[in-house]
């Protein structure tokens, strides 16, 4: 497995998002099966594992901690926290410290390599958060910190106080809004960029059909790119990926990941694989290298393709109101 550097952390070029083992995408591997899959991912060269306190109300952190305990000193664990009602700097510091201690307990470790602010709070200045992160780094409880779905301005303000190791935000061949300013800002400041949903919640694997349906807490119920009409309308994109994949002896998903890996050497995607074949396929994307000509061809054809549907936090929030 090739490696990349984000902040001061060396990680596998493709990581593993663990959220789906606990919730978000319908039935899948859980418990011992999920632990075995994470062991397999490590055996295949994955050293970068992502979780959060919010995934399964802490259960996902416990699962990741159990799976990685035998190789704890050889992997990078990233987790995240959400702000509550903190208002003053002292309240924010107390809240963050309490959340980190709870995460460390669930993970069964005395530190995490990367600690993200899951969403930037409107009520707590980023400078206050960055100050707390500096203290936690000094204490050895975290090795680096980051933000999720942050703006370029928020990144710059926070980075001035305590340099960020990474920014984790949605990014895929279907969702490119952060190419305008956030990714260039990360390039300028030496910050890693970690795309979540790099396969557009599985859409770019090319196996989704307009007849598919989703139930329970499966987020695809409310992500508009999975509306039947949008699935049909996005077929030109899948046709492009399939054509390139056929020429490269790869899969559409691997081409999607290879495309972003080609763009910048500080980008490290974390696809949320939950089955053995998907883990094998996605991690193997690190070995699928596009030539400059192949990359330019994809970019040129993408410029003529309209993308239909997206994923928003607001839409995800409506999932709680569905039966």
Torsion region of 106: left, alpha or beta (phi above 0 gives left; psi -120 to 50 gives alpha): alpha
Predicted confidence (pLDDT) per residue in 269-323, tens digit? 999 988 999 999 999 999 999 999 999 999 999 999 999 988 887 877 887 787 6
Return the pLDDT at 167: 98
Residue 110 lies in a domain: yes
CA distance 137 to 145: 8
- Judge whether residue 86 has pLDDT over 70: no
Q: Are 106 and 58 in contact (CB under 8 A)?
A: yes
Residue 248 lies in a domain: no
Predicted confidence (pLDDT) per residue in 206-264, tens digit? 888 888 888 777 888 888 898 989 999 999 999 999 999 999 999 999 999 999 999 99
Residue 309 lies in a domain: no
74-89 mean pLDDT: 87
Confidence of residue 133 (pLDDT cuts 50, 70, 90): very high
Q: What percent of the chain has pLDDT over 90?
A: 76
- Beta-carbon contacts of residue 249 (< 8 Å; ≥ 6 apart): none
Predicted confidence (pLDDT) per residue in 242-251, tens digit? 999 999 999 9
* CATH code, domain with 8: 3.20.20.100
Mean pLDDT of the chain: 93
Is 115 annotated in the active site? no
Active-site annotation holder among 55, 115, 116, 171 = 55
H-state helical runs in 141-251? 152-161, 182-189, 228-233, 235-248
Q: Which of 83-97, 112-126, 172-186, 292-306 has the weakest average pLDDT?
A: 83-97
Tell me the helices (H) and strands (E) count for the chain, helix number first: 12, 9
Residue 225 lies in a domain: no
Predicted confidence (pLDDT) per residue in 51-70, tens digit? 999 998 999 999 999 999 99
Residue 295 lies in a domain: no
Return the pLDDT at 323: 65
What is the per-residue DSSP string for 59-108?
HHHHHHHHHHGGGGGG-EEEEEE---S--SHHHHHHHHHHHHHHHHHHHT
Return the pLDDT at 213: 80
Q: CA quadruple 43, 46, 48, 54: dihedral positive or negative? A: negative
Helix (H) or strand (E) holding 316: helix 313-317
Residue 314 lies in a domain: no
For the chain, the domain total comes to 1
Task: Find the domain containing 268 and state its range.
Answer: 3-208+259-288
101-127 mean pLDDT: 95
CA distance 219 to 297: 32
Predicted confidence (pLDDT) per residue in 1-42, tens digit? 999 999 999 999 999 999 999 877 776 777 899 999 999 999
Residue 12 lies in a domain: yes
Helices 252-263 and 235-248 meet at what angle, rounded to 10? 90
Residue 148 lies in a domain: yes
Q: CA quadruple 71, 149, 278, 323: dihedral positive or negative? A: positive
């Amino acid at each position: 497995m090739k490696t990349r550097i984000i902040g001061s952390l060396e990680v596998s070029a493709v990581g593993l998002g663990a959220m789906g083992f606990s919730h978000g995408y319908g039935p899948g591997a859980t418990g011992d099966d999920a632990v075995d899959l994470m062991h397999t991912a490590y055996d295949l060269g994955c050293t970068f594992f992502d979780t959060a306190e919010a995934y399964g109300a802490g259960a996902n952190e416990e699962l990741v901690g159990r799976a990685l305990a035998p190789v704890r000193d050889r992997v990078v664990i990233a987790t995240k926290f959400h702000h509550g009602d903190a208002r003053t700097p002292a309240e924010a510091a107390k809240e963050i410290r309490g959340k980190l201690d709870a995460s460390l307990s669930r993970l069964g470790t005395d530190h995490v390599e990367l600690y993200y602010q899951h969403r930037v709070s409107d009520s707590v200045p980023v400078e206050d958060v960055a100050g707390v992160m500096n203290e936690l780094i000094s204490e050895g409880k975290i090795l680096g910190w980051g933000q999720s779905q942050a703006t370029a301005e928020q990144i710059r303000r926070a980075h001035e106080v305590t340099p960020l190791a990474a920014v984790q935000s949605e990014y895929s061949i279907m969702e490119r809004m952060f190419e305008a300013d956030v990714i260039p800002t990360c390039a300028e400041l030496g910050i890693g960029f970690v795309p979540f949903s790099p396969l557009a919640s599985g859409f770019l694997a090319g196996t989704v059909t307009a007849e598919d349906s989703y139930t329970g807490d499966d987020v695809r119920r409310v992500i508009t790119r999975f509306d039947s009409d949008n699935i049909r309308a996005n077929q030109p994109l899948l046709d492009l990926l399939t054509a390139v994949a056929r020429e490269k002896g790869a899969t559409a998903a691997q081409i999607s990941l290879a495309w972003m890996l080609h763009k910048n050497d500080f980008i490290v995607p974390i696809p949320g694989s939950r089955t053995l074949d998907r883990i094998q396929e996605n991690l193997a994307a690190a070995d699928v290298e596009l030539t400059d000509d192949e990359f330019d061809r994809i970019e040129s054809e993408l410029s003529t393709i309209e993308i239909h549907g997206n994923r928003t936090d607001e839409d995800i929030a409506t999932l709680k109101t569905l039966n």
